[in-house]
Amino acid sequence: MAAPTFLATWIKAQRLKAPRMKDAPTFERNLEEALDVRRTDHAMVTRTQSTWKTGEAVDFCSNDLLSLGSSGRLRTEFLEELARNPNFPLYAGGSRLMDGNYDYIEQVEQEIADFHGAESALILNSGYEANGAIFAAIPRPGDAIVYDELVHASTHDGMAHSLALCKMSFRHNDVDSFRDTLASVVDSQPLIRDGSRSVLVSVESIYSMDGDVCPIEELIEIAKEVCPKGNAVFIVDEAHATGIIGPNGAGLICELGLQKDIAIRLHTFGKALASTGAVILGSQSVRLALMNFARSVIYTTAPSFPAVAAIRAAYNLLKSGATQESQDKIQHLVKHFLTTITSNEIWDEANDMGILSIPVSDNWEFRDFVTHIVPVWTRQRYNFWLVFHLQLAKISAFPIDYPVVPKGQSRIRLMFHAANTEAEVELLANSICEWAKEMIDIEKAGEGKSKIPKAAQQIYAMMADV
């Protein structure tokens, strides 16, 4: 599906449907009324296929960060892993607590734990299930949870089923807000103040919609100060650091040498590792608690042998150093993008006018590393227009809207991959600036001039033909 047709089809899907269903069954009409709320905000999700998958656009949106999937490298290692185990079963046979446990998954879990410097590991079917398991099973009655306001939706869903009644958020990556929130919890909870219950601190190493890094070292020091009895423990979601940050992609915590300071870590396999599933790292006590109390472990079939073999194949590549060049290339490409776009002659004016903003570009030269996630902000009503422009330039990128991000904070999230080239990155940066220049001219133009950029005009004109 060519980019213009893809976009026009998507736009048509945002048209309200319920008003045309007066004679439809109540059940169907009520569903469409709920969907119309999404359509009103242009947030209706449809069954679409990204144009990069058909070779018609450059991928700046997918999670195949190390390009292990698109390059075929993981497939090759996966088939070799299966060949080393020719009599493998296709099924698990049950839950981990019954017939679904087997030697191979136990072996792979220990290998993963060793790789990340953890005592034990437990593989689950997805990162969503893993976060749900952690927060539903680990907090005990009387515990409290303090969390960054931008933690993942799966963390919120897990906390909704938690035995911890006290849950308080702190402003994103704000160490002063964290200190105040933690102190407030200690002051209000006698069992935490006397050290007989714990505070579980939930953060992400790299935030998926913002691309910024958790100040975890500062948070740990504050926690030690505010909770001198040592009953403040950290749960770190490393989904977007896995394979990208740290020695051989072991994550931010390994990069900083903080393995012993973190109670629980979550690593996922569906992003840089191009597989499926997730692993929870922690002590043997954590593992046993998850197996006994987590409904997403108890009441679901265990990961199958082929799924675990794909995970092991990915870790084989990490451990061998085969992905280090890809890690390094992502660093280079992101830095090249930030250099290219901020040096464009239109950048300062577009930034000053609020037409273009990239928060992670501030002082990036002084950081030890950059991340693969680069959100681009513009005026809220301009988000789709920028996406239209990029799609017509054969660049695959998508807007991120509510409820994925808070209302009024929509942005375009760019994802950089090892398989991207410098030329593609330059095309991306120059295309964004070309659009920004057009928007500056539109805003400066007087009455009588079109207020809609050319790419949007083209897509709107095609809607009637879809």
Residue-wise pLDDT tens digits, 316-352: 999 999 999 999 999 999 999 999 999 999 999 999 9
**What pLDDT sits at residue 5?**
65
Low-confidence ranges of the chain (pLDDT < 50): 1
Strands 278-282 and 264-268: antiparallel
Burial, 121: exposed, middle or buried (Cβ in 10 Å; 0-12, 13-18, 19+)? buried
Strands 398-400 and 58-59: unpaired
Q: What three-state secondary structure class fits 58?
A: strand
**What pLDDT sits at residue 359?**
95
What is the distance between the alpha carbons of residues 56 and 398, in angstroms, rounded to a whole number? 15
What is the distance between the alpha carbons of residues 58 and 414, in angstroms, rounded to a whole number? 11
Q: Give the burial string for 407-445 (b: 16+ CB within 10 Å, else e).
A: eeebbbbbbbbbbbeeebbebbbebbbebbbbbbebeee
Q: Is the dihedral of CA 156, 413, 389, 56 positive or negative?
A: negative
pLDDT (tens digit, 9 = 90+) per residue, 168-207? 999 999 999 999 999 999 999 999 999 999 999 999 999 9
Q: What three-state secondary structure class fits 6?
A: helix
What is the distance between the alpha carbons of residues 347 and 341, in angstroms, rounded to a whole number? 7
Q: What is the pTM of this model?
A: 0.94
Contacts of 100 (CB under 8 A, 6+ apart): 92, 93, 94, 301, 302
**What pLDDT sits at residue 2?**
59
Strands 199-204 and 144-148: parallel
Cα radius of gyration (the chain)? 24
**What pLDDT sits at residue 4?**
63
What is the distance between the alpha carbons of residues 374 and 396, in angstroms, rounded to a whole number? 14
Residue type, 54: T
Angle between helices 127-137 and 153-160 (to 10 degrees): 30
**What pLDDT sits at residue 463?**
64
Q: Is the dihedral of CA 170, 171, 172, 174 positive or negative?
A: negative
**What pLDDT sits at residue 325?**
97
Q: What three-state secondary structure class fits 459?
A: helix
In this structure, the dihedral spanned by the alpha carbons of residues 355, 367, 153 and 251, taken in order and rounded to 10 degrees, is 150
42 neighbors 14 (Cβ within 8 angstroms): yes
299 neighbors 274 (Cβ within 8 angstroms): no
Angle between helices 216-226 and 175-188 (to 10 degrees): 30
DSSP for 323-347 reads THHHHHHHHHHHHHHHHHHHTSTTH
Burial, 404: exposed, middle or buried (Cβ in 10 Å; 0-12, 13-18, 19+)? middle
**What pLDDT sits at residue 1?**
47
CA atoms within 13 A on the CB side of 229: 11
**What pLDDT sits at residue 116?**
98
